[in-house]
Chain A
Amino acid sequence: MEIGNYIITKALKLGVDDVVVTIKPAITKQLRFANNEITLSTTWDTIDVSVFLAYKKRLISSSLNNPSLSETFSSMGGKTNLTKDSVDKFLEKMLKVAKVLAPKEDYHGIAKGPFKYKPVKDSYDKKIESLGDKTVDFVEDAIGAATDEGAKRCAGVLYSSFWEENKFTSGGVEASDKGSSINVSIRAFAEKDASGHSVSVSRVMKEFDAKLAGKEAGMLAKQSLNPVAGESGKYDVILGPMVAANLLYYMSYAFSAFEVDSGTSFLINKIGKKVGSKEVTLVDDSRMENGFGSNMFDDEGMPTQRTKIIDKGVLKTYLHNTSTAKKFKTKSTANAGIIYPQPNNLVLESGDSSLEEMISDVKDGVYITNVWYTRFANYRTGDFSTIPRDAMFEIKNGKIIRPIKGLRLSDNMQHILENIISVSKAAKIIHWWEVEIPIVTGHVLCKDLNMTKSAK
């Protein structure tokens, strides 16, 4: 670990005010599959080194995925063939640059430690390190479970990963965390227009269930055979977990103090105000047990916490790092991003409903199981649209009557939060290609949402 401390000491000696060094060696393995075959197996064996420097409010973020430096770093603690020269040269170069930059006048520093950290339960499982080619079995399990349900072909991806994160800061932080993860994303097709998608996402083996993901995807594929064209209009809409997760992920920018400060959030000046129905309690739980994004510390090295963003519909806080918190005259929520605070595990707290109850509550509605391509007409208002893919169903008088296709959800993010009638008790972690921040949610019933379709 001496190299991290060396960079801190050297940078401070050169006159830098704040320094944060992150060294993250990681091994990630991936199996991609399509048409029930494994199309590619990949191994990433990398070490990422990033250094943040603040000199008289002039800020530089640098990443050095350069073997000439990172090989040196990777030998930390062991045989050091460290060329301190290369580190010195790098720091001198960065400082020279910093001196000619303009200051960020509203920069207010990083967290001051040292801190005590509590490990997050179920965030590392040694078994994941030695899976080897067993991962091929998991892929076959997922595909097998989907085809058992009636799917003809499946596509998807399986990841297994383990890493170490070492943090050193001029705020007195010297910390290290270890993590692992395993996750599968599977899309099953029963016919060209009949598909279902599901995921299983975990930090530890015991909670990982490739078969269940395959089964769920396969069932949806089968249920959505022979869809008819849907009609545009206002509907009560049941958002499946993949859909709710997509919308929460895409609206999560609005919780970041960076976006509020930029003037781009639809939640500007709404702290203490009602922004959702009483069913909406939204939490960033960065310390969640088996949370896919859980971590002991944030990017400044501050111990992570559980933060209520929306409590029964009322906006409680934005997500902050040390600097944005000082600007907003509040406390950091330990969500650094040194530049851009963001959630780690965004959790929509469970309600007491179920999918079956929701369906029976809907007179004229739509059940959407997955969406993609969420885009905003205006970030400041939250006007957006997103497109269902995979199974979608029409509901009449409390019953699913048929699979439908060809609709688009064109609405507004705050309107959606305000119109949530119920949230299911059961929830799952969603993280896949379209949803890059882990979101924990169940089924969500929203009234009066706007569905549109191609006019020609």
Chain B
Amino acid sequence: MSVDKDLVHFCVDSALKNGASYSEARLVSTAEEGYILKNGVPESSIFAESRGIGIRVIVDGALGFLAINKFGKKEIAEKIKEVIKIAKVASKTLKRPVKLSDEKTYKDKWEIKPKVKFEDVSPEEKMKFLFDLEKNLKNLKSKLPSRFFQLATSNTEKYYVNSDGSELHGKIPQLFMYYSVIAVENGDTEQRYYPLGESGGWEILKRRNLFDKISEETSVLLKILRGAKKLPKETQDILLSPELVGIAMHESCGHPGEADRSLGREGAQAGETYLTKEWLGKRIGSDVVTVVDDPTIENSYGFYKYDDEGVKAQRRVLIKNGIINDFLHNRWTAEVFGMKSNGASRAGRFDREPIVRMSTTFMLPGDSSFEELLEDIKKGVFIKSYTEWNIDDKRWNAKYVGNEAYLIENGELKHLVRRPVLEITTQSFYSSVDALGKKVEFISGTCGKNEPMDPVPVWMGGPFARLRSIPIGSA
């Protein structure tokens, strides 16, 4: 792959010449491959190449954006003029012109180097990996009427220039693997799905032992169907796995901490947030709760070195010892809040506006072992994995339905319980945490926000977490 740097500079200059006070252009070139194995039968493989430029301008205090995948300079210049014209008209509706925070500029080239490049692994071998996963299910298959394996690899190259003087050239390979299985026993059924995403090359699949994980989890599904008991609703303690803590951090800390939601900019789409600027310094949880969002973890699925406004990636502490500490910012929200951007501006594709997004959102660990967390629970539930989940658009009322979950009695794990439902407010969740495990684990996800929808890769995670006195019962 190579990018036409000259064309990117041309876009930035052309916008300035035509009246923009600020401009930036981002050429993104992506090559993707995808493979699917459905109930042992391969579906169509996918080979997609996309290449285009996203150009963002500020004109008379209004933001304009052009996404184009035709590379003639004349055509691009014409379109930039049109975008500037509409932005000028739109600027008349503004009470407060858009300004971006002043930020340091960078000229840099960065790259995540894979150990094994995707292009060095044949399509045959990629497909074989999925067939091997299917074979690995062996005699369980007859109980699993739905088995779905998906593998996707991508190589993305990005060249970003802004009129402040930043020039950033990045390359990142990413792998995504997804499986879902549905088990049926005596007419009853349960499902499990699991996404795995990382930045790097083919070596990711060697490092992660998906074979054991899938076998184990499908066996558990059958055990649930054979013997999980309904949990009567009562107030008890709960122990959450890193998978549960991870999804909760994403939904009830990361999303509400997006400053653009707080300013109402996503009001008609992903919604707003219970958090306002006035919450900074106020308590939302217990002392043990510290949550960060960190794009600098190298192999993470949400990794980047610079965000899509040219700001250097950095760790943000969103909740510090139970106190709301920071928001996720881009250069516009930072300016409105009267501070510097913390580098959370992302676009998943060339044709999407960069807006405030998460990267890897996780709760920092404590100092307890799993056994120590467990032994102090007289009566409770351990939820290891989840199935259905959702949260309201202010990020206050969340629901997580347990998949693999066990009753806890006198500090010991007992039998499986069926679909325990944790339906809880954000404040109750964070206030009820009293102890945390020592080790953080991550799960992968694709975060949805923006309009049109712009899925971006993320990680989320945390340690095992113990919550006291929570009303919980089976669905």
A-side residues, CB < 8 A to B, are 29-47, 52, 59-68, 70-71, 74, 94, 97, 100-106, 132-133, 135-136, 139-140, 153, 155-157, 185-187, 189, 197, 261-264, 338-339, 372-381, 383-387, 389, 406, 408, 410, 433, 452-456
Contacts and interface: CB of A to CB of B under 8 A. Distances in A.
Contacts of B98: 39
8 contacts: A35-B263, A40-B64, A43-B82, A65-B51, A133-B90, A378-B189, A389-B271, A433-B451
B62 A41 contact: yes
A61 B398 CA distance: 38
| Best-buried of A41, A61, A377 by chain B (most CB within 10 Å) | A41
Contacts of B424: 454-456
B262 to A, nearest CB: 12
B21 interface: no
Nearest to A70: B69
A45 B182 contact: no
Contacts of A386: 390
Contacts, number: 272
B442 to A, nearest CB: 21
Contact of B390 (A60, A94, A140, A385): A385
B38 interface: yes
Given A67-B70, A373-B390, 4 more contacts: A62-B48, A94-B47, A101-B127, A454-B398
B389 A375 contact: yes
Contacts of B455: none
Interface stretch (B166-174, B295-303, B467-475): B467-475
A262 B45 contact: no
A300 to B, nearest CB: 13
B387 A377 contact: yes
Given A59-B45, A104-B44, A136-B93, A70 B146 contact: no
| Best-buried of A42, A43, A338 by chain B (most CB within 10 Å) | A42
B475 A377 contact: yes
Contacts of B41: 104-106
B291 interface: no
Given A43-B83, A372-B393, A453 B71 contact: no
Contacts of A46: 52, 67-70, 351
By DSSP majority rule, is chain A's interface helix, strand, loop, or mixed? Answer: strand
B101 to A, nearest CB: 17
B269 A433 contact: yes
A101 B93 contact: no
B390 A374 contact: yes
Given A67-B70, A140-B93, A389-B393, A263 B146 contact: yes
Given A63-B48, A67-B51, A339-B44, A262 B93 contact: no
Contact of B70 (A37, A70, A377, A387): A70
Interface of B: 38-39, 41-52, 62-72, 75, 79, 82-83, 85-87, 89-96, 98, 122-124, 127, 131, 145-146, 148, 180, 182, 184, 189-191, 233, 263-271, 351, 353, 387-393, 397-399, 401, 419, 421, 423-425, 428, 432, 451, 453, 470-472, 475
B451 A378 contact: no
Contacts of A385: 388, 390, 399
A104 B42 contact: yes
Nearest to B271: A389
A189 B388 CA distance: 29
A187 B44 contact: no
B86 A41 contact: yes
Contacts of A74: 70
Nearest to B191: A378
Nearest to A153: B264
Contact of B71 (A67, A189, A410): A67
Given A65-B49, A339-B44, A387-B397, A38 B93 contact: yes
A231 to B, nearest CB: 14
A63 B45 CA distance: 11
A61 B124 contact: no
B264 A379 contact: no
Nearest to B32: A63
A36 B93 contact: yes
A445 B425 CA distance: 29
Nearest to A39: B265
A34 B267 contact: yes
B50 A66 contact: yes
A69 B213 CA distance: 42
A43 B86 contact: yes
Given A33-B93, A455-B472, A42 B397 contact: no
Contacts of A383: 388, 475
A67 B423 CA distance: 49
A41 B64 contact: yes
B388 A377 contact: yes
Nearest to B182: A380
A37 B425 contact: no
A64 B49 contact: yes
A51 B45 CA distance: 12
A187 B267 contact: yes
B391 A197 contact: no
A59 B43 contact: yes
B45 A101 contact: yes
Contacts of A156: 267-268
A37 B63 contact: no
Contacts of B68: 44-46
Nearest to B96: A37
Contacts of B182: 263-264, 378-380
B45 A97 contact: yes
B331 to A, nearest CB: 14
A408 B185 CA distance: 30
A200 to B, nearest CB: 13
Nearest to A136: B89
| Best-buried of A67, A136, A153, A408 by chain B (most CB within 10 Å) | A67
A61 B94 contact: no
B94 A37 contact: yes
Nearest to A65: B50
A153 B265 CA distance: 11
A394 to B, nearest CB: 17
A232 to B, nearest CB: 9
